[in-house]
Structures are given as structure tokens and as C-alpha cells.
């Protein structure tokens, strides 16, 4: 039985609130330890979020190692990952770089983050596929019948 819209909306709302809090905490830690400023923090959460969503989607689809319900998939993918990543802030930061007369730097930043996000998604997908259950092997009788 499919989940109701209210249940799905609630799952997305709860997931996105946890994702947004996690993004804030991650960015705060990155800036506190001095690894980088706002641009590095935004890039990090977007790249990490791409890895997380691809890994989770792969692990929990119908043929994945841990098939999950629509509600839990929406909680994590639309909710948590949607709240954790921030394409809108990346757009604003890039726009501000360009406004500051650094168009090449802005283009390099957004291109780099998108490229790294795609690589991270590919890595999450590949890792998730490693956990897929292998198809059942043939029995000795089936092998003998083939010869």
C-alpha cells in the first residue's frame, strides 16, 4: 500500500530539518578548524551530499542490498540530502564572485563543484553496487544438465 501524501511530506520535512542542521554543523566545523571559508564549506556539503544520495539510492532501490520503503527513501533523499546540500547558496556565492569582477574564478568554482559532485555520485553508486546481492548460483544438477 503506497504511503499517503501526509506521511511522505512529514518524512521529507523531518529529513530536511536534520539535513539543514547537519549542513550548518558541517560548515561550522569546517570554518572553525580553518580548513576554508564559506566557499569550501558549501562545496564540501554539495560534494558529500552527492555521494550520500547516490550511495543511499543504490543501496535501497529494489535490486539493492537493502531495499527500503518510499517513505524512508524520501526521508533520506528528498529530505536529508535536500536539506544538507545547498545549490542555492552555491549559486549565490558564485554570483557574488562574478559581481566582484572575478568571472573566471566564479566559473571555475561552480564547474569544479559540479564536476566533483558528479564524481562523488559515481563513487557512491559504485560503492552501493558492491553490496548488491549476487544472483543465486546454479546447483550441481543444473550444471550437469548443461553438459
pLDDT at 76: 98
pLDDT of residue 34: 86
Tell me if 20 sits within 8 A of 80, measured CB to CB. Answer: no
| Angle between the N-to-C axes of helices 87-99 and 103-130, in degrees from 0 to 180, rounded to the nearest 10 | 160
Q: Is 26 annotated as a binding-site member?
A: no
Backbone angles phi, psi at 97, to 5 degrees: -65, -45
Domain that holds residue 50: 5-146
Residues of the chain where predicted confidence (pLDDT) is lower than 70: 1, 136-140, 142-144, 147
Residues 6 or more apart whose Cβ sits within 8 Å of residue 67: 60, 61
Residue of 57, 68, 62 whose CA lies nearest to 127: 57
Domains in the chain, number = 1
79 is in an annotated binding site: no
Smallest CA-to-CA distance from 93 within 42, 140, 59, 45 is with 42
pTM attached to this predicted model: 0.87
- Amino acid 36: pLDDT: 78
Amino acid at each position: 500500500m503506497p504511503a499517503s501524501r501526509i506521511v511522505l511530506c512529514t518524512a521529507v520535512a523531518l529529513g530536511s530539518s536534520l539535513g539543514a542542521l547537519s549542513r550548518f554543523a558541517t560548515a561550522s566545523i569546517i570554518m572553525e578548524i580553518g580548513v576554508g571559508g564559506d566557499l569550501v564549506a558549501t562545496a564540501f556539503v554539495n560534494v558529500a551530499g552527492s555521494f550520500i544520495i547516490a550511495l543511499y539510492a543504490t543501496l535501497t532501490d529494489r535490486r539493492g542490498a537493502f531495499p527500503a520503503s518510499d517513505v524512508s527513501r524520501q526521508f533520506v533523499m528528498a529530505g536529508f540530502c535536500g536539506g544538507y546540500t545547498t545549490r542555492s547558496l552555491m549559486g549565490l556565492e558564485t554570483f557574488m564572485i562574478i559581481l566582484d569582477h572575478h568571472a573566471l574564478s566564479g566559473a571555475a568554482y561552480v564547474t569544479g563543484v559540479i564536476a566533483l559532485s558528479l564524481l562523488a555520485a559515481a563513487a557512491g553508486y559504485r560503492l552501493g553496487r558492491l553490496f548488491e546481492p549476487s544472483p543465486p548460483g546454479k546447483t550441481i544438477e543444473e550444471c550437469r544438465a548443461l553438459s
